[in-house]
A and B are shown apart, each in its own frame.
Chain A
């Protein structure tokens, strides 16, 4: 067992995954249009975008499942090879396993295809099954598992055997909150060891919570990328104003855009620098100011802005 342990605990040779001017057309449709970004080693990179934005197509190109119409993918600064990808963990968009084969057996099979010996694959799979609470289901046929548990088996297929990089398409969908946390912990353990992780998600709050880096995709193009804080700083700042009287008058103040006004409360965007001073003076002249505070934009807000 300890021999396998060595194999499984050795530091991994990791690197950046770099996408350079990647494009893909399907007939007339440009599904992915000149995308460039880097999934840094040891970084958890979230890939966000609506349906049909090109996330899955991009991930499939990174994994070599789909060949790009243009551009290239680099690993460790050189064009990526099949041998590199063989040591990546990949979770495709639509899920499935061999329904009539036992959980352990098919995971070991997939591990062996990735070049692991049977014993290494087996111990890695067993450890993961224990970790995700599936140890007792190891011999069960996959079709007998619940969807959530099937999802866990899929995750193990990607994470087993110390992958050098992870590309995961919607890894959190279908998981309950506890499983999401569990999964997030697992992913962080990989990034701690320098593994670059690219994952896509619709759940923006989750992405915000987990990611060091974010790439927002819309209509096949990167519309924003950076750390959540960086993205926030590029966003127009918003303020919340709560008055003792009606707040309707704020609509007339120059340099300020009223996003929403309801009774005593107004949500404002300061368009011109210094306009907040004029605004506050006017407010104090009219009555009491209960609150005037900057609003930290949520990722959902930013997302809506950049993809609009």
Chain B
């Protein structure tokens, strides 16, 4: 403490203020203006700052990013890696078969190389496999051909070899029957195409839907729990009483929901962006445009859906009076999230179509349908509007329940009780 002038102590008397009094009053009005107009913004900014400077949050975000990038790098490496197989044979026939298999393998994927090498017999082959010089021994038995190896044989070797053995046998048998393989196979192929002319990769749709479900589940659960925890933190410590005397509780709730939604969205956008970049390095890069559209929709759905969830989680926090109660007050919500998560795998056909219009479930289901290419342009729009309406209703009801249960400091309030008093 130095002099009075340098110590703006609120407890010194008003003496000596003199002429600055009038301007001071004006200043008071100015000072109150920014804060009092938008208290929710002050709350939202704090939520964001506290979260973003939280070390655990930063680490988990970074870890997830590294995981996504690592997954992409691994896929790219896996795709570019050349696998070389050496197959031991003991006859000219065997060498021909291996060479045929090698050319088949080369034509489907340029990362598999198969080369034959000649050995004298079983003992030499066994020794070569044991030494690791060769991967397997292809030899003729009374029943046909056998591939003997020290370990399991990878499908990238087995499939082309099977094809070669099969083609050779078919050729021989057809000649013996006085016909050709082409004649035998005529009309035996099944083509597949779609009326909309699109070609979709089913595995890719599943993988993308899974990614959406996981992003949604993780994001909603993590940020939802955080909102609930931050509400109960204020309630348990009675800070909420101090805050309630300063600003309307509605503003407190709005600030929390907005603040956490902003970070949740930021994180999801970040993950999705890195994910898209990651996909561009994989064999699925040609599907990127379709995926990007779905991702944009997903983010839109997530934003609207998360608003409702954030509000519900805030209510769950308000229903608890201690951190220990959170587990039980948030359980209806975590169950709901689990259902959405599993629904995204379990549903198909009409059920999936219906689900893609049900609020919250639609966050995952609709982008999944968009990516599969079977949603008409208006469907996501309608579904999004339904969810927006749902969110609006949730926020209105949630706000009431939040206000009523927040000051209820004795014990835990059940959802049923809380909803009843809100009526």
Say if the beta carbon of B166 comes within 8 Å of chain A: no
Q: Which of A2, A63, A115 contacts B36 (CB 8 A)?
A: A115
State A131–B12 Cα separation when bound (angstroms). Answer: 12
B176 within 8 Å of A (CB atoms) = no
Q: Give complex CA distance A275, B66 in Å.
A: 93
Q: Known interface pairs A2-B5, A8-B10. Does A92 touch B246 (Cβ–Cβ under 8 Å)?
A: no
B8/A127 in contact, CB under 8 A? yes
Contact status A127-B35, CB under 8 Å: no
Q: Which residues of B contact A96 (CB under 8 A)?
A: 236-239
Q: Which of A4, A7, A101, A160 is most buried by chain B, counting CB atoms within 10 A of its CB? A: A7
In the assembled complex, which residues on chain B have CB atoms less than 8 Å from the CB atom of A114? 35, 246
Nearest A-chain residue to B39, judged by Cβ: A113
**B238, A92: Cβ atoms under 8 Å?**
yes
Q: Does B9 contact A131, Cβ atoms closer than 8 Å?
A: yes
Q: B131 on the interface (CB 8 Å rule)?
A: no
Given contacts A6-B27, A186-B11, contact A113 B35 (CB under 8 A): yes
Q: Which residues of A contact B50 (CB under 8 A)?
A: 98, 100-101
Query: Do A82 and B248 form a contact, CB below 8 Å, given A60-B241, A96-B238, A109-B42?
Result: yes
Instruction: List residues of chain B with CB within 8 A of the CB of A159.
Output: 10-11
Given contacts A101-B50, A115-B36, is CB(A162)–CB(B10) below 8 Å?
yes
> Which one of B7, B35, B43, B46 lies within 8 Å of A117 (CB-CB)?
B35
Judge whether A92 and B8 touch: CB under 8 Å. no
Complex: A124 Cα to B244 Cα, angstroms: 21
How many Å from the CB of B230 to the closest CB on chain A? 9
* B325 sits at the interface (CB 8 A): no
Using Cβ atoms and an 8 Å threshold, which residues of chain B touch A94?
237-238
Residue B1 contacts which of A66, A93, A109, A131 (CB distance < 8 angstroms)?
A: A131
**CB–CB B31/A116 < 8 A:** yes
Most A CB contacts (10 A, CB to CB) among B24, B238, B407 go to B238
Asked whether B198 is an interface residue with its Cβ less than 8 Å from the other chain, the reply is: no
* Chain B neighbourhood of A161, CB < 8 A: 10
CB distance from B228 to the nearest CB of A (A): 16
> Which A residue's beta carbon lies closest to that of B235?
A96
Can you name the residue of chain A whose Cβ is closest to the Cβ of B46?
A109
* In contact, A5 and B244 (Cβ under 8 angstroms): no
Task: Please state if A65 and B11 are interface contacts (CB–CB under 8 Å).
Answer: no
User: Any chain B CB within 8 A of the CB of A190?
Assistant: yes
Contacts of B107 in A (CB 8 A): none
Among the 9-residue stretches B14-22, B217-225, B286-294, the one with 4 or more Cβ atoms under 8 Å from chain A is B14-22
**A260: shortest Cβ distance to chain B, in Å?**
42
B242 contacts partner chain A, Cβ-Cβ < 8 Å: yes
Contact present for B31 and A11 (CB under 8 Å): no
Q: Is B245 an interface residue (CB 8 A)?
A: yes
State whether the Cβ of A128 lies closer than 8 Å to any Cβ in chain B: yes
Contacts of A157 on B, CB cut-off 8 Å?
242
Query: How far does the alpha carbon of A118 sit from the alpha carbon of B417 in the complex, in Å?
Result: 40
B238's closest neighbor in chain A, by CB? A92
> In this assembly, does A148 line the interface, its C-beta being within 8 Å of a C-beta of chain B?
no
Q: Are A66 and B7 neighbours in the complex by a CB distance under 8 Å?
A: no
Q: Give the distance to chain B from A80, nearest Cβ to Cβ, in Å.
A: 11
- Asked if B238 and A95 make an inter-chain contact with CB atoms under 8 angstroms apart, the answer reads yes
Residues of chain B within 8 A of A3, CB atoms compared: 27
Judge whether A192 and B8 touch: CB under 8 Å: no
Query: Within 8 Å of chain B (Cβ to Cβ): is A189?
Result: yes
Residue of B nearest to A5 (CB): B8
Nearest B residue to A94 via CB reads B238
A64-B244, A115-B36, A131-B9 known; A10 vs B17 contact (CB < 8 Å): yes
Most buried by A among B13, B20, B239, B241: B241
A residues within 8 A CB of B7? Answer: 127, 130
Complex CA distance for A97 and B241, rounded to whole angstroms? 11
Which has the most chain A C-beta neighbours within 10 Å: B10, B11, B39, B236?
B10
Judge whether A240 is part of the interface by a CB distance below 8 angstroms: no
Could you tell me if A115 and B238 are in contact, using CB atoms closer than 8 angstroms?
A: no
A115 and B35 contacting across the interface, CB-CB below 8 Å: yes
Interface assignment of B34: CB less than 8 Å from any CB of chain A: yes
Q: Give the 10 A-B CB pairs with smallest separation, nearest first.
A: A96-B237, A11-B14, A189-B11, A92-B238, A113-B246, A92-B241, A5-B8, A117-B31, A115-B32, A123-B8
**17 new A-B pairs (CB below 8 Å) besides A82-B248, A88-B245, A115-B31?**
A4-B8, A7-B27, A9-B17, A64-B245, A65-B407, A90-B241, A100-B54, A110-B243, A113-B42, A113-B43, A115-B32, A116-B31, A117-B31, A120-B31, A128-B10, A130-B7, A193-B14
Provide a sorted-by-A list of 17 A–B residue pairs whose CB atoms are within 8 angstroms: A6-B17, A9-B12, A9-B13, A9-B14, A11-B14, A11-B17, A92-B241, A93-B238, A100-B54, A110-B242, A110-B243, A113-B243, A114-B35, A115-B32, A127-B8, A130-B1, A157-B242
